Homo-oligomer: A and B are copies of this chain.
């Protein structure tokens, strides 16, 4: 059962809702998490939309259940739709059998808000005993190979991915993904960054598929990537429309048809 902010003040005593407020401006509202010491994977839209394409595929393939959302006055005013039913643009899913939580976003997070959103997200993650965080994002490269670059907050975590990915030797990760990694580093919460190499600003399901293969390898998942590759052509067209729409959400009260990532 999902209950809004207004009620939480009274119902929190019952204990079946978890909520984390950061500076009263980023709110994470979910049903009670059932997983124990879960893995949390997050994917926000960045270059190539690698983060949210991969996350959406994982959510669908692992039959994950919607358990809540992140909302903020800092986010653009937007409701997303799937088959006529309203949902939130930043959503949280869970599969308790897999001890897995996913956070997926249809909207990019403005850099000026990344600090607050990452603090709120990691606060919440710690409050539900998340033991590790995987951040999925894209990275621009000149190479045409479907490489995945990796980085980690500790040597131990780095050891786990060393043989499976290209180690990101030196550089910076900026935006919400960088904020989350920095926040995990500061709190000593183990975290891995998986960056799918992409050559374009356009949606890149092939880069998302490359990241998912690494996850399958790391966690013994069997998430299908074939369908992702097959649908690549179709999704590329649709995602481009989403990107255009997101870019125009500053316009008041306009309404558009599109094909967003959804689960």
Q: Using CB atoms and an 8 Å cutoff, list the residues of chain A in contact with chain B.
A: 2-7, 29, 44-47, 51, 69, 71-73, 75-89, 106, 108-111, 114-116, 118, 123, 126, 137-141, 150-155, 158, 162, 167-179, 181-189, 191, 193, 195, 245, 249-260, 262
With A109-B253, A139-B257 known to touch, is A151 a contact of B81 (CB < 8 Å)?
yes
Given the known A-B contacts A83-B169, A170-B82, A172-B79, are A6 and B187 also in contact in the complex, defined by CB atoms under 8 Å? yes
Once the chains are docked, how many angstroms separate the CA of A185 from the CA of B84?
13
Chain B residues within 8 Å of A77, by CB: 111, 114-115, 118, 174-176, 178-179, 182
Could you tell me the distance between the alpha carbons of A75 and B255 in the complex, rounded to whole angstroms?
22
**Alpha-carbon gap, A79 to B193, bound state (A):** 11
Q: Which residue of B lies closest to A179 (CB)?
A: B77
B-side contacts of A187, CB under 8 Å: 3-7
Copies in the complex: 5
A85-B152, A167-B84, A252-B46 given; A182·B108 CB < 8 A:
no
16 extra A-B contacts, CB within 8 A, seeds A81-B151, A89-B172, A172-B256? A3-B188, A6-B126, A77-B114, A77-B175, A83-B170, A84-B151, A84-B168, A109-B253, A137-B253, A170-B259, A171-B259, A172-B249, A172-B258, A175-B253, A175-B254, A178-B255
